[in-house]
Structure 1
Amino acid sequence: MSYIDLHMHSYCSDDGEFKPKELVDLCLKNKIKYFSIADHNSIQGIEEAKDYCIGKDIEIIPAIELDCTIDKVNLHILGYGIDYYKKIFHQIEESIIEQEQTASKKRMKLIRELGIDFSDEVIDSLSRNGVVNGEMIAEAAMEFDKKHKNPLLMEYYENGSRSDNPYVNFYWDYCAQGKSAYAEVKFIDLKEAIKIIEESGGIPVLAHPGNNVKEDINLLKDIISCGIKGIEIYSSYHSKEQVTFYKEFALKNKLLLTCGSDFHGKTKPSISIGGTDCENKEEIIISKLKEFINLY
């Protein structure tokens, strides 16, 4: 277990489970000293968590996780130390929600056309703001398939090859970019995301590159050339080989190394707060991060 976790999500992300205060309690239970709630395109949970931390032996570093693109590849960029009162963050969130409401209908239609059905009533109980993501569809579909008869869902049930994090794995398998039930949402450009983060006093960090960069060195170099200042090396998604690859690249290019579990709750049950090994580099990560933040 690590005493830092710089990447987790509250229910202000459409795929998060817990309230910001509940995340703080979970962090304290897991003996976390430094943490960040980095919700998807949202800063709504930061203030509540920050206020709740007062008087407790824990420090929050304000953050956000922005969706963006480079050369038609979708990326997640973490912004640490941001001024979360900036209006631009609210504008981004409103735009994403509006687009997601439309994309949700297409996403559900495509999933049903593949032969995976679910209850609209269950979807309505899970949805917020009319947004239905892949994780919600997975939960509803697995509940609908009570006798576990649908062959398309078998690998997500207990002991299946994708059962460790069934809901989010379903998203990656069916609803992610390039998959059969992908519904496009137009995100901001990577350079714009970096500019927004830096103009708000924050530092831009590439999140879990093993998920979407996949050790493509040319793509990685293009991303870094846009102004990224750090990489989330230690991630619950990364294998030991990926940790080594991205750590060597970061050190060679004098980039900040960060650590985050990407905890969501029920959508990723195998991921725990503080559960990502950062090779006992907590003190270095936090001190370097604070140095970077103070420069912006």
Structure 2
Amino acid sequence: MEEHTNLGRYDLHTHTQASDGMQPPADNVRWAKEKGLAGVAITDHDTVAGLEEALEEGQRLGITVVPGVEISTRAGGKDIHILGYFMDYRNEVFLERLEKLRQARDTRNNLILSRLRSLGVEITLDEVVATMGRPLAPDESIGRPHMADTLVQKGYAKDMRDAFDRYLAEGAPGYVSVPRVEPAEAISWIREAGGVPVVAHPGLYGNDELVRSIVEEAKPAGLEVRHSDHDDAAESRYAAMAAHYGLIPTGGSDFHGARQGVIFHGDLGSRSVESQVVEELRKAAVGQK
């Protein structure tokens, strides 16, 4: 990909080893630079542990790093993810809240592993951590992709997609949902930390009426229109929804890196937005501080 192709564009949804991504935060930043992006957001699940490293690398390379997070919530029988941008990621109350979410994630992980064992699928948390190839650092968490990786390596699935379809995806026999905060609560947390809340990848929920109800009741500032799992029709539909509700239309790849040769959900930079979107987010954050 030639550098000028992405000049002035930002990928606002990427994950690192701080949650369920494959790369250290600095690698995401370097890769964004190599792809010619003007900036990249680090949006790990329920943690901001990767932000310092990413911001330092961004400063070194002269590329903008947007501080972000992706908070796990539950509504309408679905796991709903809320992205936050430009919040004060050192805010102690915000950090305490994220810690509680990670504790819920740990509970879920243990329940998933227990359910898998009841299905005759023998994997342990120690094996999942070992598959990562490094110790689990403080404020990092295990996610389903880590488990899927272990399932493939132990021969219980042929690839990552098969592992999710057979065991870990919503509705699959190994899937477990634990009580989570509602979208409105996560949105208020982000605002209280000075950030800008955005509903992530609405197309993954399979229920646009639910998305509308969340937007109307919880009042986020933005909607993720561009996403690796949105086709052209979905992007047009969510662009219209964002315009109707006066939301900032954001976008990003939801890059997690490659496991077993498969990139989930898309390659870094494969979905991006222009700098105007980032400025809107920045202004919205400043406007509430």
Say yes or no: TM over 0.5.
yes
Shift of 1:173: 5.4
CA contact (8 A) 2:94 2:193 kept: no
Task: Please give the secondary structure, in 1, of the residue aligned with 2:12.
Answer: strand
Pair 1:275 & 2:270 matched:
yes
Aligned residues between the structures: 273
Per-residue Cα deviation, 1:24-64 (whole angstroms, up to 9, x for no partner)? 11111111112110111111111221122224331112111
SS of residue paired to 1:8: coil
Among 93, 96, 101, the alignment partner of 1:96 is: 101
Look up the match of 1:261. 253
Cα distance in 2 for residues equivalent to 1:55 and 1:28 = 11
Q: Is the 8 A contact 2:18 2:141 kept in 1?
A: no
Does residue 218 (structure 1) correspond to residue 209 (structure 2)? The answer is yes
1:139 and 2:144 are equivalent in the alignment: no
Show the counterpart of 1:27: 32
Aligned position for 2:187: 194
SS in 2 for 1:191: helix
Q: Secondary structure at the match of 2:36?
A: coil
Instruction: Please say if residues 8 and 36 of structure 1, whose CA atoms lie closer than 8 Å, have aligned partners that are also in contact.
Output: yes
User: TM-score when scaled to structure 1?
Assistant: 0.82
Residues 88-97 or 3-12, more deviating: 88-97
1:241 alignment partner, one of 204, 227, 233: 233
Scaled by the length of structure 2, what TM-score is found? 0.84
User: What is the rounded CA distance, in whole Å, between the counterparts of 1:249 and 1:121 in structure 2?
Assistant: 44
| Residue 162 (structure 1) aligns with | none
Residue matched to 2:13: 7
Quote the Cα distance in structure 2 between the aligned partners of 1:93 and 1:118: 27
* Contact 1:96–1:185, Cα closer than 8 Å, also in 2: no
Task: From 47, 61, 77, give the equivalent of 1:42.
Answer: 47
- Which residue, out of 178, 181, 197, partners 1:185? 178
Mapped contact 2:11–2:37 kept (Cα < 8 A): yes
Which amino acid is 1:222 matched to? Answer: S
Contact 1:119–1:141 (CA under 8 A) maintained in structure 2 = no
Bigger mean CA offset, 92-101 vs 246-255? 92-101
Report the Cα offset of residue 239 of structure 1.
1.2
Partner of 1:174: 167
Which blocks of at least 5 consecutive residues in structure 1 are unaligned?
Answer: 157-165
Residue 23 of structure 2: aligned partner: 18
Which whole-Å deviations, capped at 9, do the CAs of 1:175-205 have from their partners, x for residues lacking one? 2444321223322121111111111111110
Work out which of the residue numbers 225, 244, 252 in structure 1 matches 2:244.
252
How far apart are the structure 2 equivalents of 1:173 and 1:95? 29
What's the RMSD between the two structures over aligned residues? 2.5
Residue ranges of structure 2 left out of the alignment (5+ in a row): none
Give me the whole-angstrom Cα distance separating, in 1, the residues matched to 2:124 and 2:104.
Answer: 23
Identity %: 26
Residues 63 and 78, structure 1, Cα contact 8 Å, conserved in 2: yes
Cα deviation for residue 288 of structure 1 reads: 2.4
Deviations 1:203-255 (A, max 9, x none): 1101111112x2x3321221111111111110011111111111111112211
